[in-house]
Amino acid sequence: MDPLLASWLAPHEIWEIAVSPDGSLVAAGNAHLIMVYNVHTMQQIYEPLEGDSSIICVIFSPDGQMIAASSRQLVRIWYTRTGQELCSASDHQEYVYHVTFSPDSRFLISGSHDRTIRIREINGGQLVTTCTINTKNKVYSLIFSSNGALLLALCAELIEVYDASTWRNICRLHRQATGPTAVCSPDSRYIISAAADGIRVWDLADEVPVDIPFQRQEGSIVCLAFSPDSKYVATGSAEMIRIWDASTGALQSHFPHGHQDRMHRLDYFPDGKKLVSGSPDRMIKIWDMYFEGEMILEPNIEPKPEVIATLGDVVLSLSTRGCVDLTNQLDMATCSDYPISSGGFGDIYKCKLFNGMDVAVKTIRIYVGSNDQDRKHLKYAAKELYTWSKCKHVNVQPLLGLAMFRGQVGMIAEWELSGSMPEYLDQHPDVDRCVMCVGITEGLSYLHASGVVHGDLKGANVLISRSGVPRLADFGNAKLKESTLKFTKSSTNEQLTSQWAAPELFEGSSCSFETDIYALGMETITGDVPWPGKSERFILLAVTVKNQRPERPETHIPTYSEQGDMLWSLLQWCWGSNPEMRPTAEEVKGKISIITKQGLTSGEVEMGDV
């Protein structure tokens, strides 16, 4: 599996990125804005925070209560919970390249190209300067040791080390590099810096270089991050993310980050299980430090065999792999007594978390017997749910976590107030349906690239977020390409939605990438179900015996429109009788992305309802 856990597109370029101390939020800064995202929903929690100009640095306070940023001569602090500005200061004479909080969150320290470091106390909504350190070089970055005893300042080719109790200079380390590419290990033992000839290491206690043989890599290192346990160092270059053993220099893992522009920032999550990266290509990506379900381990440590015999074991197993166990966060008093609806493999209940968030609890019907085969199915279910939980994309409904719910495994997702796509189109008839189709196709393309077959793609299973973004949901017959994600194997039969079903499904074939594409072709912009008013028997005969397909809806795809024939040809390609001749989701995405509302407007037909 791809180590990419989640990704989403920000409205602006990403130059700085930071993770909150509890791992629930990501703050991303660009030219003059800071966007704060909920990691689980990938949605902004409030309107962007406005800086003075180019945001150079973003950081959370160690207690998680504040966000600080620097831009030009200004430093500014906001409350994390509300986004309200707390205080600001503008007494530097040149660009402020970095800010950091003291470990107790009482002080904000800023470093500037004016060759000064300013220590300010956060007091009663004001920043009060208590000390100014004059350096001989421009300051690029500031780092506190984890015990708070030392302040490190990256100044051109030097690392200046200060005693945090007196602010006196203790020593200077020559790092043969410029720019803010150095990190201090959380255990305050090492400083690691990127240099032209590779990675350099210093022992902070002895103030001497340490000869750790890091393998030389192609391309310069643009960002560094230490894992919270100080065991690993992550480096980012033009194309790759690499994970190194900090004590031996051994390369543990590497993978392409896929950003379309230079990756500016890497940051570990507090649990050490995930990394986040940001780039001017506007993508925010979260990476899993478990590969193929296994954590990056030291060479001589073997993972213990895992026993999964109960539904509770499924939740426990997944919670150790980054899936959040929300069992104790569900406010059971708010949960509906009866299902709001039933999906292909379970029932859906509406509940609240104790933080007030409305959520949908989707129970999974998994039969648990006592024999070895039943336990084997249960272990497969755990493995496949984990893979499914990693499928996170702006056009795929995110999984917030799992829970034991009334004796069943429950998948927790945000309750989408805008409802399903048909409901949303009824309420918003003027929405650009071509844009909606692009979003749906991008979501399906992502699932297929992750090896996941949706299995029940239709309008009712496309939910609309509060910001109007379509999200694929209710994977009623979902399965992995290699090992089927069929809870039906131990519970119920695969459900068939005839209006969207490909011919081979009527003949007993299983859901596949190709049947998803057939159903995707049925997601036209008409707002009506395929074969409206026709019985299942009629549809079966029409599709399998007569090889018929829906007629062209001239109102929505007019013959004399600029792009009508292009869209109609694409739909017919998706509906091909031979599954192997249908396009891939990526091919559909390439075609549908150039079709516009204006391109489907005919000179003879009014398209106000498209």
Per-residue model confidence as pLDDT tens digits over 448-472: 887 788 877 888 888 998 778 898 8
CB atoms near residue 224 (< 10 Å): 20
Backbone angles phi, psi at 238, to 5 degrees: -60, -35
**pLDDT exceeds 80 at position 134:** yes
Calpha distance 32→220 (Å, rounded) = 27
Q: Confidence class of residue 118 from pLDDT cuts 50, 70 and 90?
A: very high
- What residues pair up with 132 in beta bridges, in sequence order? 118
Strand order in the sheet with 96-101: 96-101, 107-112, 116-123, 126-134
More confident position, 414 or 207? 414
Q: Give dist(CA 444, CA 478) in Å, integer.
A: 12
Cα(529)–Cα(163) distance, rounded to whole angstroms? Answer: 70
Domain definitions of the chain by residue range: 311-414, 421-600
Tell me if 224 sits within 8 A of 192, measured CB to CB: yes
- For 264-297, the pLDDT digits (tens) are 788 999 988 899 998 887 888 888 876 543 444 3
CATH 3.30.70.360 fits 311-414, yes or no: no
Rounded Cα distance between 96 and 104, Å, is 22
Residue 77 to residue 68: CA distance in whole angstroms: 4
Phi and psi for 4 in degrees, rounded to 5?
A: -70, 120
Which residue from 560, 521, 556 is spatially nearest to 432, judged by alpha carbons? 556
Instruction: Identify any residues that bridge with 240 across adjacent strands, giving them in sequence order.
Output: 256
Helix residue spans in 470-547 (DSSP H) = 503-506, 513-521, 536-540
CB distance 600 to 561 below 8 Å: yes
Contacts of 287 (CB under 8 A, 6+ apart): 3, 4, 5, 241, 255, 274, 275, 276, 277
Strand-by-strand arrangement of the 139-144 sheet: 139-144, 150-155, 158-163, 169-174
Q: Provide CB contacts within 8 A for 75, sequence distance 6+.
A: 68, 69, 88, 89, 90, 92, 96, 99, 108, 110, 120, 127
For residues 343 and 304, the model is more confident at 343
Query: Which of 420 and 314 is assigned the larger pLDDT?
Result: 420
- CB within 8 Å of 528: residues ≥ 6 apart: none
Supply the pTM of this predicted model. Answer: 0.52
When pLDDT is averaged across residues 231-259 and rounded to a whole number, the result is 83
- Give the range among 215-219, 358-362, 442-446 with minimum mean pLDDT: 215-219
Q: Report the half-sphere exposure of 235 (CA within 13 A, side-chain side).
A: 30
Q: In whole angstroms, give the CA distance from residue 213 to residue 146.
A: 25
DSSP state of 542: I
Class of domain 421-600: mainly alpha
pLDDT for the residue numbered 369 = 54
Which residue reads 């594409």 in tokens? 517
Percentage of the chain exceeding pLDDT 70: 75
What is the distance between the alpha carbons of residues 139 and 188, in angstroms, rounded to a whole number? 21
pLDDT band for 604, please (50, 70, 90 cuts): low
What is residue 551's DSSP assignment? P
pLDDT band at 387 (very low <50, low <70, confident <90, very high): low
